[in-house]
Structure 1
Amino acid sequence: MFSKLYKYQVKELWYIARYFYAAMIGAVLLGLFVSATRIPGVVQFVNAITILGFILSCIAMIVFSVIYDYQNQQGKRSYFFRSIPAKESAVFSSRLAYYFTYHILTVLVFAIGITIFIVSNTAVEMKLPFHIAFSTVKDFFLQPKLIGLIFLLVVYTGLEHIISMMFAITIGSQAIFKKLGVGGPILVYFLHYIAMQIITLISMLLIPISIRLPQNFDTDFQFEIVFESMISEMSKVFSAQSNDIKIIGIGFILTTFVTWIIMSIWIYKASKNKISLN
């Protein structure tokens, strides 16, 4: 049943998503063609349009993925989606996989497009052959630490977005919010966002685990994990004992994961026969 639900959701959004991805790929090809002319003013203009188009396409994909999920849970397609005899685990996991599929696909298309943009821009700015510019960019970005950091950011932001959206739509679509319609998920998301910001701030300040920043980012790119709370660092700054913040609290990572687990359990329990069908 997971496969049936997953395919239904992915196929449904694909009818629109394919046009956005085609537009992103088309923008890359156009950028390559224009970059080959090496006309500085024209190249810069087209590059700016390409970046703007990429960003707008990514935002559109996020918006449409949320809209389609909402319609499956509460909107015009909810009767069909909810009529499928599936367990809570299948409903929850299929939605999670649906969001992750388009998150990863969008990130990959965006990353490839931006890489080509940077390479072509480097070739024009430095007046280098395309393959040499590609080698230069590759040597910079293919650093293990940088790749690891980017991977963690992609996974973290993906989970943050996916769980937050699923939570807002699932809880905001329950009977108690029926009169609010689409306002239910919006209200739940707003309250969740405020709560998470407060939890994150408190965790950063009070939980004694932080990252010590390098003294000089130009010569030293090493980060050190220290078991100190950021509140002590902030007190030094406010009391004029120090001019710079030297450690950044990362305790919010722990509380965020705990919160995600709680939210996921809540979503799971509310994933079947507890959503108001209009």
Structure 2
Amino acid sequence: MILLQSYSAYQENMFQMLTIKTFQKFQNLISTLNCHLLIKLLTKQTKLQDSLVSAKNHLPTIERIYAALPKITALGERLQMIVCSATLHNFDVKKLADRMMHFPQWVDLKGQDSVPDTVHHVVCKIDAKTDRMWIRLKSQDRVQTDGIHANDEIRPGSDYPETISEGTKILKGEYVLKACFHLAIRQCNMDQGIIFCRTKLDCDNLERYMKYKAQDLTCVCLHGDRRPDERTRNLDAFKKGKARFLICTDVAARGIDVKGIPFVINVTLPDEKTNYLHRIGRVGRAE
């Protein structure tokens, strides 16, 4: 969100314009307009470091926008910059502030992330060496994996690392299905839950498997490769209770306001602690 004023309008105090745009749209704007930028507010609905390290890598765009800003205004005032982040204590946020800001003041509205006392954690161990069910599932071609070991020699019954890794990937889909079935129907009356996967492909594979094996456990998928109208439709179905499970990635789930989620299933643990805290925090807000 950027406050723009032209030089002449600023001097005469006659014209002001407030524009809210994506990085790319704003980059196009500053390349076509002769404008004087007074205040820059970099904000994401998610967290700032996603802009810096994600596949889209918005850091070059941020740097170009910063380079286009006058560091001193016509009246001798210093450029003011506000950076908002849901994860304020992340190293990338601090590094960006040190590079682009002059003696930045930090305003922390929530403090360090912590695990809510209302969250109970359960770990389900998967051992492909002892649970050979994956061999049968693989022969039936029911569970699709990410294809990492597509070119490796998988020998069911052996303890080769590639074989055990592939077996673990297959068992995860089956274990998630069993957890959803038993918790939702037999034990905990799980009305709804969010299932986190590491990649978009993992989300697609799990959604396909759940729809094939358990039609009663309705699910929808949410990630960046789905069309915007489909993402909106799927999220709406989950919010209205038409779908019991929302399968999504960390990035897709950020900014989603869904109240009263009693269960979260982590198919794969995230690489960063902050991502895990964001995941389980949704359960901690449930009543």
TM over 0.5: no
After TM superposition, the score normalised by the length of structure 1 is 0.25
More strand by share: 2
After TM superposition, the score normalised by the length of structure 2 is 0.25
